[in-house]
Amino acid sequence: MYEDSPGVIPVYSFLVQYRCRKTKVYRQKQIKGAETIYVGFYQANEADMATALLYEVLNEKNAILSEKAFLAGTHDRVENTDDFYPQMTDSILYVSYPGTEKVYVIKDLKYGQPRSREEMFTVLKSSNKDLVEM
C-alpha cells in the first residue's frame, strides 16, 4: 500500500533540518574606525512576510562583545552585506543601512556611564551632519 510513497521519515527530517536553521549567517564586516572590532550580520530564516535582520559585535578572535540584537525588518531576502555600513565615532558604534546616512543601530561600546540614544546621536551628528536616525 505505501511501497511507492517517499515515506514520512525523509519529509520529517527535511522539515526538522529547515526549522533548526534559525538564521542565515553573513560575513563579518570590520567597523570603520575600529581595527579589531567587527559586526556580524544575520537574517532570520523564516518563511514570513517580513524577516528580521540581526547583528552582533565581535572582536578579532570572534569573542562576542555584544549579543545578537535587532537591526531592522525587511520583506527582501538580503544576499550580502554590501549595503551595511558599520562605523565608530567616540566609542559609539553605528550601523547604517541601506546607505551611509540612515542609522539603524547606535550602541555605546565604552564601559562606564551609559549615554542615552539622543546624546549618542548628537555626538554622531557633530561628525556627520547627513546622518538620519531611523
Domains of the chain: which residue ranges?
A: 22-133
What's the CA gap between 14 and 34, in Å, rounded?
41
- Give the three cell numbers for residue 42: 544575520
pLDDT of amino acid 43: 84
**pLDDT score of 127 more than 80:** yes
Q: Which residue has the higher pLDDT, 126 or 100?
A: 126
Q: pLDDT per residue over 5-46, tens digit each?
A: 455 454 444 444 444 445 565 678 889 888 899 999 888 776
